[in-house]
Structure 1
Amino acid sequence: MLLGAPGAEKPVVRVDESHYIDVSDVTPERFFAVGGVALLAERVAGVRCGRSPVSGWARRSRGSTKTEWQCAAVGAAIQPLALRLITVLDGAVNPGPLELLHEAVDRTRALTRGRPATGRTHDDADPVAGSLATDSAQRFDPFPLLRALDAAGARAVVIGQVAGILHGSTELTGDLDLLWDGAPEQADALARAFAAAGCTLLDDEHRPIPPRPQAFLRPKAQFDSPQVSGDCCTPALPWGALPVRPLLDRALTAVDTDGLRVRYLRRDDLILMRRALGRPKDLRRAEELERL
């Protein structure tokens, strides 16, 4: 991530909403050799506990006191949009999965701001263009529901284009699709999470109903909220010849800077699901994932 005036940007790692660590003079070998990961975690924890960051961050290597990391205060003139904790790999600053999703939410908001309403929801999504052209995209923010699912301990896995974004897809979306195992004992956690996020479910006639546990025991439960809409699916939904239950067991987990944990399909499994569904948008997105 680069931060600073045009022409004088520096690579930085975010510590909190107003402090970042300058890593412009850090090589990957040196960063890991002096315990950079542990030092970074320690400094982030200190800032969150209210301890002010020091002006310099000394290297912990024998015979050297050279300052390796510096915490730089960022003024209000610099907008911290989509700045999240990032990973230093191979000398480059690479955004993590949830950083990519934060950025996608910001891009979707900017793209749809002021767009006239059409009356179309995510359920009316075009099989080629997807849900970005629907009204659901104008309020797209999956994070409140993802946080509620994590807090409730609901073992739902992100699928669809949000999972694609977590893997680096640049194509935007306007809905959130989830997959869970359909076990009745998990329905209560789902119901608590959806209620906490202000979601309602839709019955077969698309009428809103409360998110009670029994309402989730269908092959697919459609949901809506002020921030996000989408589908909550189970393996009982027709998936062609694809056995989807094993996909849940090998799902990945991404962790945000505030501890939010999000489970999502592995890239290869998402490609399999895309090809099994076979719609034009699925095939296009599968090809993009194969190139990543």
Structure 2
Amino acid sequence: MSLLDMVSGLSQAGVRSVVIGGLAARAHGSTRITEDLDVCYDASPDNVRRLAQVLASWNAYLRGVEPGLPFVMDERMLRNTPVMTLVTDRGAIDIMDVVAGVGTYRDVLAASIEVMADRLAFRALDLPGLLAAKRAARRPRDLEQIPELEALLEMRNRMRPG
């Protein structure tokens, strides 16, 4: 299952989310390969319910946790643990309702663009938002990607008329 298939599955279920990680960077021209889907989701009750249903149908389980430990993916789990790294039947997914350096889903949505890939339209965090998130995360792998994202932003700005 591809990351785009996961994005499509979320979209088909009516889950309001914005792609924020490596797939968003790829949409802007990054050369880095990503193995998981990172999304910021709307934490409204109806959206949390839809997200929990999709993740449960994908047999979501906490990544890095010993298999077999009790885990129930439901609305209560999402409300109590709004940031999770999960493995599913469809692939790995990281979900969060707030993005450090950017803000809540509403802020992330305002800092997103529409992307079209393989006839699938979805929202992805824009380059300035990605840069803010990478800087705020301060993880070595995020900091290593900043020069490439800055170069992509500079190139995009130079190509704009005016």
Quickly name the TM-score band, shorter chain normalised.
0.7 to 0.9
Q: CA deviation at 1:190?
A: 0.8
* Conserved 8 A contact 2:19-2:39: yes
Pair 1:265–1:273, CA change in 2 (3 A): same
Is residue 26 of structure 2 the alignment partner of residue 165 of structure 1?
yes
Unaligned runs of 5+ in 1: 1-139
Pair 1:187–1:289, CA change in 2 (3 A): same
* Conserved 8 A contact 2:55-2:73: yes
- Give the CA RMSD over aligned residues: 2.4
> What is the TM-score with the length of structure 1 in the denominator?
0.45
* Conserved 8 A contact 1:248-1:265: yes
The structure where helix makes up a greater share of residues is 2
Structure number with higher relative contact order (C-alpha < 8 Å, ≥ 6 residues apart): 2
In 2, Cα distance between equivalents of 1:212 and 1:283: 34
Which residue of structure 2 lines up, in the alignment, with residue 153 of structure 1?
14
Question: Percent identity over the alignment?
Answer: 28
Unaligned runs of 5+ in 2: 153-162
Q: Of the candidates 219, 232, 252, which is equivalent to residue 95 of structure 2?
A: 232
In 1, Cα distance between equivalents of 2:27 and 2:108: 16
Q: CA deviation at 1:284?
A: 1.6
Q: CA deviation at 1:288?
A: 0.3
1:127-276 equivalent positions in 2, closer than 5 A: 141-196=2-57, 198-202=58-62, 207=69, 209-217=71-79, 218-235=81-98, 239=100, 242-245=101-104, 246-258=107-119, 260-276=120-136
Q: CA deviation at 1:230?
A: 2.7
Q: What amino acid does structure 2 have at the position aligned with 1:185?
A: D
Q: Give the SS at the match of 1:209.
A: coil
Q: Give the SS at the match of 1:146.
A: helix
Aligned length, in residue pairs: 147
Q: What amino acid does structure 2 have at the position aligned with 1:228?
A: G
